[in-house]
């Protein structure tokens, strides 16, 4: 039995909106994104270890002191100093002394250097620039697709792009207990923009071909989208599965910072494949039909 895609725009839209509403409610209740130190700022602690040291041992000592999230970096002329960036704690003096006590077992020459309060690495200006970049990219994509195909294809593609970003952000909010938003999240967000629009353009290209093909062009636009998505589906699934195999492997075998990048990327790729096949083409057909009625 030959598989054929059918229009499921309304139920798909309901599911997507429901996910976004749940994330919005959680955010309004104070359970929004789990922002990392780069977004919230924190405390910077500096120690002179008196020689070479192992970062894993520093991390283990911090865990014993109750600090699970920290950024550790080697500094100094010979990399003998360590800078530890952590979220704000109630009593930094107690943490400083406890850390010296634990590390002095393996590093007897350890010396406390300084503790300072630092602001967020990713400030409001950088976030605003990211928003401006996404907005500019969406406008340029709209212009390009409108020129290459038609205006309603561009509008449908941008709607799909906004959908994918919103789903990705919603997932991060809903799963904030085990997803922490670091600077790598911005990279994942920008990656999804390119991946999502690529899938959409491939399907729109097939729609344009079928819309001029004898025996198909006289069909309703919804049916043309069904045929086009069905024909593109094997290629889309092969590309998506191949990409996911690589990223899932990174998530399973990677360190924590890699996982914080890979998991949102997995969600974004799935959302992009979902919208390209189930939403964008049917939004185009809906807009075109409304234009004809007017």
- Give the pLDDT confidence score for residue 1 in this predicted structure: 40
- 85: DSSP letter: E
Global pTM value: 0.79
- 63: DSSP letter: H
- Give the pLDDT confidence score for residue 120 in this predicted structure: 66
> Could you confirm whether domain 9-33+123-293 is CATH 3.30.70.20?
no
CA distances from 288 to 35, 51, 285, 293, 294 (A): 42, 70, 5, 9, 10
Torsion (CA) 47, 49, 52, 57 in degrees, nearest 10: -80
Closest among 2, 1, 11 to 278, alpha carbons compared: 11
Structural domain spans, the chain = 9-33+123-293, 42-118
For the chain, where are the alpha helices, taking DSSP H only? Answer: 9-28, 37-40, 55-64, 92-103, 124-148, 151-174, 184-211, 221-253, 256-275, 281-293
Integer Cα distance of 275 and 278 in angstroms: 5
Residues 6 or more apart in contact with residue 22 via CB below 8 angstroms: 170, 174
Instruction: Evaluate whether 44 touches 118 at the Cβ level (below 8 Å).
Output: yes
Closest among 70, 193, 173 to 181, alpha carbons compared: 173
**Average pLDDT of adjacent 10-residue blocks, the chain of 294 residues:** 67 90 90 76 80 83 80 78 77 80 82 75 68 85 87 89 90 83 80 83 87 78 86 86 91 80 89 88 85 73
CA distances from 168 to 164, 165, 249, 278 (A): 6, 5, 20, 17
Stated as kind and residue range, the H or E segment containing 268 is helix 256-275
Instruction: Evaluate whether 41 touches 152 at the Cβ level (below 8 Å).
Output: no
Domain made up of 42-118: CATH architecture? 2-Layer Sandwich (3.30)
- Give the pLDDT confidence score for residue 30 in this predicted structure: 80
């Amino acid at each position: 039995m030959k598989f054929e895609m059918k229009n499921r725009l309304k139920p798909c839209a309901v599911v997507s909106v429901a996910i976004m509403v749940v994330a919005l409610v959680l955010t309004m209740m104070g359970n929004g994104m789990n922002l990392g130190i780069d977004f919230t700022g924190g405390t910077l602690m500096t120690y002179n270890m008196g020689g070479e040291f192992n970062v894993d041992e520093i991390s283990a000592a911090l865990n014993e002191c109750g600090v699970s999230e920290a950024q550790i970096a080697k500094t100094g002329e010979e990399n003998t100093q360590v800078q530890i960036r952590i979220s704000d704690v109630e009593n930094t003096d107690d943490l400083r002394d406890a850390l010296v006590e634990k590390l002095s077992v393996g590093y007897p020459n350890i010396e406390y250097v300084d503790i300072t309060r630092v602001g967020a690495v990713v400030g409001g200006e950088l976030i605003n620039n990211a928003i401006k970049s996404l907005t500019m990219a969406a406008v340029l994509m709209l212009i390009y697709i409108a020129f290459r195909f038609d205006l309603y294809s561009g509008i449908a593609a941008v709607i799909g792009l906004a959908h994918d970003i919103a789903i990705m952000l919603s997932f991060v909010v809903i799963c904030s207990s085990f997803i922490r938003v670091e600077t790598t999240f911005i990279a994942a967000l920008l990656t999804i923009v390119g991946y999502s629009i690529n899938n959409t353009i491939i399907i729109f290209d097939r729609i344009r071909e079928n819309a001029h093909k004898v025996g198909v062009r006289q069909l309703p636009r919804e049916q043309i989208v069904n045929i086009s998505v069905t024909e593109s589906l094997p290629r889309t699934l092969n590309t998506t599965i191949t990409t996911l195999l690589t990223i899932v492997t990174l998530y399973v075998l990677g360190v924590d910072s890699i996982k914080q990048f890979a998991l949102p990327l997995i969600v974004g790729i799935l959302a992009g494949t979902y919208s390209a096949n189930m939403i964008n083409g049917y939004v185009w057909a809906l807009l075109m039909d409304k234009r004809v009625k007017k």
